[in-house]
Amino acid sequence: MKYAVPQMIGLLLNSVYLIVDGVFIGNRLGRDAMAAAAIAVPVVEILIALALAISVGASIIISSSFGSGDRERANRAFNLSIVIALAMSLAVAVFGNIYLGQLAMALGSTPDIQAEAVTYLWYIVTGSPFLILSFAFSSYARADNRPKLAMTALVVGSLSNIVLDYVFMYPLNMGIAGAALATALGPIFSVMILLPHFLRGKGMLRFSWPALSPRLAWNIVYLGAPAFINGVLHRHRHPVL
């Protein structure tokens, strides 16, 4: 209960903000803008699945290492997984921006909504490192015996997105760019809440430069693959918009 309930609350609000995002866009900007935002939803969900693939795999190793008293191996897995997540997210940001127009078209964009879809995707792709790290750090905080901190980070990120949706689209009248910016900023707030736990050494996981270990990297990816597959299939069955 200590771990499950905070996780359920955090993920529930994370799902709600995507629904509220669609409500704001539909009511304020209309059908075409909502269709443009829907183009980006698969990208968001795949990024979350990638974050879960790395963080869940690493968390399994971290938890089992803590259980056996091997804190050194736990920290190696923690730091190596962050390097993998950063490398992956930076690749997404770079190549996603290079092929932004093609990505929008591949996801079903039409000429009528292409400009708005590209605008929305630009914010999502550019902010992808924070989205991936927010979910990764949440998993690591739970593995480091801080489930309520992980929940707080997800809740704050979700609520900030809802509030900023209103501010950017109504008083500031930023249109589709405002909706996308609100979505991109939410994970940044989550990372800002989670980062001090690891920087200040409040738990057993601490930042350090990891020795590159292909075997450990493979184990992280291998153990996290079911979470990635389940995340992709689950989101495909239950579209958000």
How much is the mean pLDDT over the chain? 85
Q: Which of 4, 38, 46 is nearest to 18 (CA)?
A: 38
Rounded Cα distance between 26 and 24, Å, is: 6
- Decide if 240 contacts 20 (C-beta within 8 A): no
pTM here is 0.85
83-111 pLDDT, tens digit each: 999 999 999 999 999 999 899 998 888 88
> Would you say the C-alpha torsion 36, 39, 43, 46 has a positive or negative sign?
positive
Q: Calculate what percentage of the chain has a pLDDT beyond 70.
A: 93
Instruction: Reply yes or no on whether the pLDDT at 224 is more than 70.
Output: yes
Q: What local confidence, expressed as pLDDT, does residue 110 receive? A: 86
SS3 112: coil
pLDDT band at 241 (very low <50, low <70, confident <90, very high): very low
**What does the pLDDT average to over 229-237?**
62
